[in-house]
Every structure is written in structure tokens, then in C-alpha cells.
Amino acid sequence: YHEPANMFVAGFVGQMNFLTGVLEDGGVKLGDGSVLPVPDSVKAKTSALNGRAVVLGFRPEHVLPESAPEHGPVFDVTPERVEMLGSEQMIYFPFCGQSVVARWASDISAPEAQTMKVKIEIGKALLFDGATEDRIL
């Protein structure tokens, strides 16, 4: 679950968000021009991979409300759908031209069609090679 060998395993063992982009100067440049930093755990290993197609993967529980104490880049998003599941909710929204889902406790406000701020706990994200789909260690 925490260290899948490739994208297939990452998606098969639990839900995973995948954002495709190109590795540039310690970040993943997404299709809309946004740049997400790569996790510190792989930053030193990625300098030789500049220009390579990659996929940044992160679990729904690593997409957090802006007020969460964890660190990560903050973004404005607009939920398209909120699915209440008892003690938790799934929040679906477009992000940088791709689809992302977040999993939050049901008592956290996430109104549909209203802009809100979220952060991605980038330290828990995984980086995959865009061609082979293997995790970049």
C-alpha cells in the first residue's frame, strides 16, 4: 500500500490519484503549466531525469483541507461531486485538467460547486516513470 512497485499495484491496492506530467527542475510540470514539487524522498534521484514523462501518485487521504496541520502546496479547487459515506466523504474535483478525489471525515465542509482550498501532502506522494509505470525509487 505504501510502497507499490508500479502504478498497477498502486491502483489495485487502494484508490490512487494519478497526475501525468514532465519532470522539470525538482517538480512535475502538469499539462496546464502548474508545477507540483516531487517528494523529498526522491528529489536527489530525479535530477538526472529532467524532461522525462512521469506520473505523480497520491492517495485520497493525502488531499487535505487547507487548515490541516500537515505540510503541502495549497490549491483552489471546485468540487463537482461530494459523496457522503457515513463517517467519511469522497470529494471529486478537477485539478490541473485531470480528475482527483479526496477522502475526508464527514464533518469537514466540502460544498459542491464552491471554490475551496486544499493541500496535497506531497511527502506521501509517489513518483512513477511515465513509460514503464514503475515507481521511481
pLDDT of residue 48: 83
pLDDT digits (tens, 9 = 90+) for 41-52: 788 788 788 899
Task: Indicate the pTM of the whole model.
Answer: 0.90
Alpha carbons 134 and 92: distance in angstroms, whole number:
26
DSSP type of residue 46:
H
Buried b (16+ CB within 10 A) or exposed e, 59-97: bbebbbbeeeeeebeebebebeebeeeeeebbbbbebbe
pLDDT digits (tens, 9 = 90+) for 60-107: 999 999 999 888 889 999 999 999 999 999 999 999 888 999 999 999
Evaluate if residue 132 carries a pLDDT over 80.
yes
Provide the pairing of β-strand 116-120 with 63-65: antiparallel
